Amino acid sequence: MVSQFMVELVGTKVVDGEAPPRILHFNPRIRGDYSGKPVIEMNSCYRMQWAQSHRCEGFASRPAEETVDAQLKCEKWIRDDDNKSEESKMKWWVKRLIGRSKDVHISWPYPFGEGKLFVLTLTAGLEGYHVNVDGRHVTSFPYRTGYTLEDATGLSINGDIDIESIFASSLPSSHPSFSPERYLEMSEQWRAPPLPTEPVELFIGILSAASHFAERMAVRKSWMMYTRKSSNIVARFFVALNGKMEVNAELKREAEFFQDIVIVPFMDSYDLVVLKTIAIAEYGVRVIPAKYVMKCDDDTFVRIDSVLDQIKKVKSDKSVYVGSINYYHRPLRSGKWAVTYENGQRRLTQVMPMGLAM
């Protein structure tokens, strides 16, 4: 039997059909954890992919372990195997407190209990989030790379819990998806040069969602700068339409200014990612003939110099594929990445490329 609840700070949905990113996932499990003990688990999740979890199991963090704003990641609480039953608690307190002249370190029970009221306070510091229960610090969770406090646009609470009241203060007021003017720098230095008239060595197609204004700007200001210095490399974003007209209007304005976006004529959907990939291949053959074509996402940092080094190793009379390949892969028939029988009748796919491809 499971007894647990979840408090989550969530961001804006990245792609239709999948859950929004969880900037912070706070999950106390009173019963039902595989350890058989009460625990507190914290994590983050992006594009439905969980990171490595951080678990507090009743032991205080080691002195040498990294802290968060000078706070321990995990505080100690009394575990069931500490041999402090209800009968012995009075004697234990007497022995622990009477006759002691020095300060005594007090151990507390697990901060949550079935049928018990509590006040949970979640605060954001310089290095991470801090959780206090009934005024006592319980745990701290460092900010994960790639997330900022402003990415959290909502609060979600669910599970085995009855809520009396919620009070929020100083929450962020906007998000890149709804205020692109805060993230798009309309500067000439970030504009893409005109397409070359001669074939190029490398064409990079970048898959992106219409609402990813901040992600595209980050790419322009980082590794994409390399392409503006070389006439032998071209990079373009491939973006499908969004269900919101205001997002499409901002996308059109962005594309007209930066000249580095190819808008494909269909509504964005995970089922149609393959069409974006085909569009990248066609663009790299028909629009800007390229010797090599590469596909990546807008959250990928491309080491163009390393890619070019690998290309130079290929003999002129040979072709090259860089990426993962599944041999005799059995297609999934359920879940997010399912292949329907209409789209794939065979039980085994002999060769299937996956991930980064060039």
Eight-class DSSP state of 71: B
Confidence of residue 180 (pLDDT cuts 50, 70, 90): low
Q: Is the pLDDT of residue 356 over 60?
A: no
Tokens linked to 301 = 């940092």
**pLDDT score at 148:** 67
Q: Is the pLDDT of residue 259 over 70?
A: yes
140 lies in the same domain as 86: yes
**336 vs 244 pLDDT, higher one:** 244
Specify if 129 maps to a domain: yes
Cβ burial, residue 99 (10 Å; 0-12/13-18/19+): exposed
Out of 98, 128, 159, pick the residue that ends a domain: 159
**pLDDT score at 157:** 93
Share of the chain above pLDDT 70, in %: 79
**pLDDT score at 78:** 86
Three-state DSSP class for residue 181: helix
137 lies in the same domain as 184: no
185 lies in the same domain as 129: no
20 lies in the same domain as 108: yes
**pLDDT score at 87:** 46
**321 vs 91 pLDDT, higher one:** 321
Domain hosting 345: range is 321-358
**pLDDT score at 94:** 58
Q: Is the pLDDT of residue 27 over 90?
A: yes
Tell me which residue of 215, 221, 210, 223 sits closest to 294, measured CA to CA: 223
pLDDT, mean of residues 43-53: 88
Specify if 132 maps to a domain: yes
Beta bridge partners of 261: 237
Specify if 326 maps to a domain: yes
Three-state DSSP class for residue 3: strand
When the pLDDT of each residue in the chain is averaged and rounded to a whole number, the result is 83
Give me the CATH number covering residue 97: 2.60.120.200
**238 vs 351 pLDDT, higher one:** 238
Alpha-carbon span 297 to 356, nearest angstrom: 9
328 lies in the same domain as 302: no
Task: Tell me if 178 sits within 8 A of 209, measured CB to CB.
Answer: no
Specify if 198 maps to a domain: yes
Q: Is the pLDDT of residue 107 over 80?
A: no
Give me the CATH number covering residue 262: 3.40.50
pLDDT, mean of residues 161-189: 70
Confidence of residue 230 (pLDDT cuts 50, 70, 90): confident
For residue range 120-144, list pLDDT tens digits in order. 999 988 889 999 999 899 999 998 8
Specify if 174 maps to a domain: no
Any idea which of 67-76, 184-193, 253-262 has the lowest mean pLDDT? Answer: 184-193
Specify if 128 maps to a domain: yes
Three-state DSSP class for residue 96: helix
Count up the domains in the chain and report the number.
3
**pLDDT score at 73:** 94
147 lies in the same domain as 259: no
Any idea which of 173-177, 316-320, 340-344 has the lowest mean pLDDT? Answer: 173-177
**pLDDT score at 174:** 47
142 lies in the same domain as 280: no
237 lies in the same domain as 287: yes
Sheet with strand 128-133: strands edge to edge: 120-124, 128-133, 136-142
